[in-house]
A and B are shown apart, each in its own frame.
Chain A
Amino acid sequence: MSILPQALFSRRDLLKKSAVGFGNLALLSMLNDETRAASAKDPLSPKEPHFEPRAKRVIFLFMKGGPSHMDTFDYKPQLQKYDGKPLPFDKPRVQFAPTGNLLKSPWKFKQYGESGIHVSELFPNVAECVDDLCIINSLYGTNAAHGGALLKLHTGSDAFVRPSLGSWVTYGLGTENQNLPGFITICPTLAHGGVKNWSSAFLPAPYQGTPLGNAAVAAENAQIEFIKNGFLSRGVQRKQIDFLNDLNRMHQQQTGPNQILEDRIGSFELAFRMQEEVPQIQDISGETEATRKMYGLDEAETADFGRQCLMARRFAERGVRFIQVSHSDQKVQWDQHSDLLAGHGKNAKEVDKPIAALLKDLKQRGLLKDTLVVWGGEFGRTPTAQGKNGRDHNPEGFTMWLAGGGVKGGIKYGATDEFGYYAAKDKMHIHDFHATLLHLLGMNHEKLTYRYAGRDFRLTDVAGHVAHGVLA
Chain B
Amino acid sequence: MTMHVSFREHFFSFVKPIFSGLLVAFIVLSASCLPAAEQQPDQKQIHFFESRIRPLLIKHCYDCHGPDEQESDLRVDTFKGIVQGGKAGSLVVPGKPEQSLLITAVLYQTPDLQMPPDEKLSKQEIEDLTNWVKMGAPYPNADLSLLRAANQKGKIDLEKEREFWSFQPVKKPALPEVKQAEWVKNPIDQFILHKLEQTGLTPAKPADRRTLIRRTTFDLTGLPPTPQEIEDFLNDSTPQAFEKVVDRLLASPHYGEHWGRHWLDIARYADSNGLDENVAMGNAWKYRDYVVNAFNKDKPYDLFLKEQLAGDLLEPAKDVAERNERLIATGFLLLGPKVLAEVDKTKMEMDIIDEQINTIGISLMGLTLGCARCHDHKFDPISANDYYGIAGILKSTKIMESYKTVGRWHENSLATKEDLKVQAEWDQKIKVEEDKISALVKSENERLQKEGGAEFKLPAKPEPTYSKEAQAQLKTLREQVASLKKERPEVPAAMGATEREIIDVPIHIRGSHLTLGETVPRHVPVVLSQQPQEPFPKERSGRLKFAEWLGNPEHPLTSRVIANRVWRWHFGKGIVSTPDNFGKLGAKPTNQPLLDWMAASLMEQGWSLKKLHRTILLSNTWQMSSEWNEKAATVDPENRLMWRTDVRRLDAESIRDSILAVSDGLDTKLGGSLLTVNNREFVFNHESKDGVTYDFNRRSIYLPVIRNHLFGMFMLFDYADASVLNGDRASTTVAPQALFLLNSHLVEDASQRMAEAILNQTALTPEQKIEQLVLKTYGRSPSKMEINRSLQFLDEIERDLQNEEPDSVKRNHRAWQVFCQSVFASSEFIFLR
Contact = CB atoms under 8 A, between A and B. Distances in A.
A454 interface: yes
B223 interface: no
A105 B119 CA distance: 26
Contacts of A230: 743
Contacts of B733: 20-21, 260, 263-264, 267
Interface string B732-744: 1111111110111
Interface string B683-700: 011111110000000000
Q: Report whether over half of chain B's contact residues are helix, strand or loop; otherwise say mixed.
A: loop
B285 to A, nearest CB: 21
Interface stretch (B297-305, B430-438, B708-716): B708-716
A331 B278 contact: no
Nearest to A452: B724
A338 to B, nearest CB: 16
Given A268-B742, A271-B739, A239 B793 contact: yes
Contacts of B687: 191, 215-216, 330-331
Interface in A327-345: 328, 330-332
B276 interface: yes
A462 B736 contact: no
A151 interface: yes
A147 B277 contact: yes
B721 A161 contact: yes
A96 B276 CA distance: 15
A206 B724 CA distance: 17
B796 interface: yes
Interface centre among A96, A147, A246, A257 (most CB of B within 10 A): A147
B586 A226 contact: no
B118 interface: yes
Contact of A248 (B580, B686, B821, B827): B827
Given A195-B709, A261-B647, A247 B405 contact: no
Given A146-B341, A190-B690, A196-B275, A454 B788 contact: no
Given A148-B341, A204-B730, A330-B686, A190 B628 contact: no
B736 A454 contact: no
A229 B743 contact: yes
A22 B337 CA distance: 30
Contact of A247 (B274, B368, B710, B823): B823
B822 A240 contact: yes
Interface in B668-686: 682, 684-686
Contacts of A3: 785, 788-789, 792
B709 to A, nearest CB: 5
Interface string B253-265: 0000000000000
A96 B343 CA distance: 6
Contacts of A363: none
Contacts of B112: 142, 429, 431, 463
B339 A158 contact: yes
A461 to B, nearest CB: 8
B628 A256 contact: yes
Interface in A244-279: 244, 246-248, 250-252, 254-258, 260-261, 263-264, 267-268, 270-272, 274-275
A166 to B, nearest CB: 16
Interface in A195-229: 195-196, 199, 201-202, 204-206, 208, 210, 214-216, 224-229
Contacts of A158: 276, 339
A233 B804 contact: yes
Nearest to B380: A454
Contacts of B339: 145, 147-148, 158-159
A216 B797 contact: no
B736 A226 contact: yes
B378 A264 contact: no
Given A226-B744, A236-B797, A425 B278 contact: no
A455 interface: yes
Interface centre among B341, B378, B821 (most CB of A within 10 A): B341
B18 interface: no
B822 to A, nearest CB: 5
Interface residues of B, number: 99
Contacts of B275: 147, 151, 161, 193, 196
Contacts of B709: 190, 194-195
A251 B788 contact: no
A332 B825 contact: no
A95 B342 CA distance: 10
Interface in B70-99: 71, 87-88
Nearest to A195: B708
Contact of A454 (B368, B744, B827, B831): B368
B626 interface: yes
B675 to A, nearest CB: 17
A465 B113 CA distance: 12
B87 A250 contact: no
B748 A231 contact: yes
Interface string B284-325: 000000000000000000000000000000000000000000
A429 B275 CA distance: 21
Given A205-B718, A454-B581, A236 B801 contact: yes
Contacts of B586: 454
B718 A455 contact: no
A366 interface: no
A281 interface: no
A286 interface: no
B469 to A, nearest CB: 49
A243 interface: yes
A250 B724 CA distance: 38
A260 B586 CA distance: 25
A59 to B, nearest CB: 21
A274 B822 contact: no
A201 B818 CA distance: 36
B704 interface: no
A167 B54 CA distance: 45
B351 interface: yes
B404 to A, nearest CB: 13
A394 interface: no
A235 B804 CA distance: 12
A424 interface: yes
Given A3-B788, A20-B735, A453-B580, A226 B740 contact: yes
Nearest to B114: A427
Interface of B: 71, 87-88, 111-112, 117-119, 274-278, 337, 339, 341-344, 351, 354-355, 362, 368, 371, 378-380, 405, 578, 580-581, 583-586, 626-628, 633, 647, 649, 682, 684-690, 707-710, 712, 715, 718, 721, 723-724, 730-740, 742-744, 748, 783, 785-786, 788-790, 792-793, 796-797, 800-801, 804, 818-819, 821-823, 825-828, 831, 833
11 contacts: A21-B733, A146-B341, A158-B276, A161-B724, A201-B723, A226-B736, A231-B748, A240-B818, A247-B828, A267-B737, A454-B379
Smallest CB-CB A-B distances: 3 pairs: A147-B276, A256-B628, A21-B734
Given A201-B721, A231-B748, 19 more contacts: A1-B792, A21-B736, A22-B736, A147-B341, A159-B351, A190-B708, A192-B686, A206-B732, A236-B818, A241-B742, A243-B790, A243-B819, A244-B825, A248-B828, A255-B833, A267-B737, A425-B118, A429-B111, A455-B378
Interface of A: 1, 3, 20-22, 94-96, 140-148, 150-151, 158-161, 189-196, 199, 201-202, 204-206, 208, 210, 214-216, 224-233, 235-237, 239-241, 243-244, 246-248, 250-252, 254-258, 260-261, 263-264, 267-268, 270-272, 274-275, 328, 330-332, 424-427, 429, 431, 451, 453-455, 462-463, 465
